[in-house]
Every structure is written in C-alpha cells, then in structure tokens.
A = this chain, B = another copy of it.
C-alpha cells in the first residue's frame, strides 16, 4: 500500500526549510511552509524567488511562476500540517527544540501523515519517544543546501513503522533527490561520520604543522574531491588497483591501519586549534564576506549540477558499465 505525498508541509523556514520548499514545489507537490517567527515567514518567499531565478539562469529549472504558485506560507502550525501527507521538520538542531516541535506536530497532524526531520546528526529516538504518533516520525537529513545537493539520509527510529523508510526513499527519488537508507540509528548518521573522520585528520595535520589550512583544503578541492564528485570512496579504490578493492586492500591496508593507529586517542577540536585555523580563514575571507562567499558556493553548485545533468546522462546511456 503506497502513501500519497501530494501535500507537503515544511516546519521551519530557515535556509534548510526554504531549500526543501524548492525541492518539493519543483517536483510538483503543493507546499505549505510555517515558521514560529514572523520575520522568517515574511521573508521566505522572497528568498525562494531569488534562488529560483538563479537556478533558472543556470538552466536548472524553467517554470519559476509555476513553482512559486505551489508554495504558500501558513499562519499557524495547525494550518500548515493539518492536511499534509508529508511534513518536513527543519527547526534548529537542538534536542529540546526538536522535541517541542515534534510534540506540536504530533498533536496537529493526520494519523496517517509521515514526518521527516532534517536533523543532521541527532537520531529521531532522542526527540520523539513521548510524541503522539511517534511511529510516523523518521529522519530525512538533507545536505546544505537541499535544492542543490541531492543526498538525503533516511534514518528510522526503533519505533518507526517499517513501511515508511522504503516509501520515503521512493518519494525522495521521484522528487529528484538521491536518498540512502540506514538500517538503524547511529550518531552523525553516515554523511557526517564520514565528514567528521576526514575533518579530524585535517585538524590533526594542521595542528602538527604539516601543512596550512589552505594546502589541506587544496588536497581535497584539487585532488580527492574531484573523483568523489561522481563516485564514492569504495568505487574510487575499486578502480585504483588492477584487481579491484581486494587488490587495493592488500596493497595499502597496512599503511592505512598505521595511519589510523596514530589517531587512536581522538583529540577534541580545542578552542586554541580552532582559533588558529579561524585566523588563517579570516585572513583569506573576512567574516563580512562570508555570506557573499556562500552565494558563490551556491552558484558553483548550480553550475556543477547543470554539468552533472549532462555528463551523468552520458553515463546512463551505457548500461553495460553501471
């Protein structure tokens, strides 16, 4: 039995919620967006309209007025979620904040609606245990910004109805996102655990004076990240030895294990260490230019997305190698 995802509510109109509104309205859903703060409700449509114009200029979408017409701003939580088939919760990432809004959503939603939380690392069990209809709650974690990076992590709580994860995966796929499903909860999920592992090594290398933050960044942006923008870490090493991943592990497993042994007492990101990286970053980019640079990042992502649409089409045309 399949769930309908026609009416979508978004709770929380920050950058993540607004990005989700674009995702769902672009896919044809009707979207109702709500935020407890009046100022956020007042400005979100302008932000969405600006983003859609940028995306149109990059050739990513066409019918901006049609997309805008599917988005409304609700005056109350009840108005937003009362009739929704799917609710995407995108409030501030703190357990008490998530818990409070989940209670309110649970009280106002239909019994058969589904609630996905944008939580980037806190499992749903930590904020839905006493919530009404808690078996309808799940994590659907996007990457920032969700309308430009397609990955979504779907993470069920122990009490989530088991039929929800596969239905939500299908829906996200049909909406143009790239979902993955975790078998169970784990702090940080997959994406931020991978990012955290790499970051911890980056901090340690900087702390030891091995390289500048700029050079460490370059090793990814002009090295590792190029392959990783179209294939994952397992496929990358699978293609990096004539006998595939087994061959690679035989050649390099010992080296990688010895590297890991250097880091068996994980250090905190100490305020002093963070301050030294921040000093280098603020030299390269003053704080007042940060939001401008975020605009640059989003334009780079739009251009990359337009590029991927072309080159990945070529990939799909060769089913023998996929």
Contacts and interface: CB of A to CB of B under 8 A. Distances in A.
Interface of A: 93, 121, 143-144, 149-151, 153, 178, 180-184, 186-188, 190-202, 205, 208-211, 213-235, 237-240, 242-246, 249, 251-253, 255-261, 263-266, 268-269, 274-275, 277-278, 281-282, 284-285, 287, 289-290, 292-294, 296-297, 299-301, 303-304, 307, 310-311, 314-315, 318, 320-322
Nearest to A296: B321
The 3 closest A-B CB pairs, nearest first, are A217-B232, A225-B228, A151-B223
29 contacts: A143-B224, A149-B227, A150-B222, A151-B223, A182-B215, A190-B205, A194-B220, A195-B233, A197-B197, A199-B237, A199-B256, A216-B232, A217-B234, A219-B232, A221-B229, A221-B232, A224-B228, A225-B225, A225-B227, A226-B229, A226-B304, A235-B281, A235-B285, A238-B290, A239-B290, A242-B290, A245-B278, A299-B314, A303-B311
B191 A297 contact: no
B201 A197 contact: yes
Contacts of A307: 303-304, 307, 311
B285 A187 contact: no
B222 A285 contact: no
B229 A229 contact: yes
Contacts of A269: 249, 253, 256-257
Contacts of A210: 182-184, 186, 190
A47 to B, nearest CB: 15
Contacts of A228: 220-221, 224-225, 228-229
B198 A255 contact: no
Given A201-B194, A205-B190, A225-B229, A287 B219 contact: no
A229 B304 contact: yes
Contact of A224 (B180, B194, B253, B260): B194
A293 B260 contact: no
Contact of A197 (B218, B222, B237, B259): B259
A256 to B, nearest CB: 4
Given A219-B151, A225-B228, A265 B264 contact: yes
B304 A321 contact: no
Contacts of A227: 149, 225, 297, 301
A182 B219 CA distance: 11
A65 to B, nearest CB: 28
B257 A266 contact: yes
A231 B226 contact: no
Nearest to A291: B242
A233 B199 contact: yes
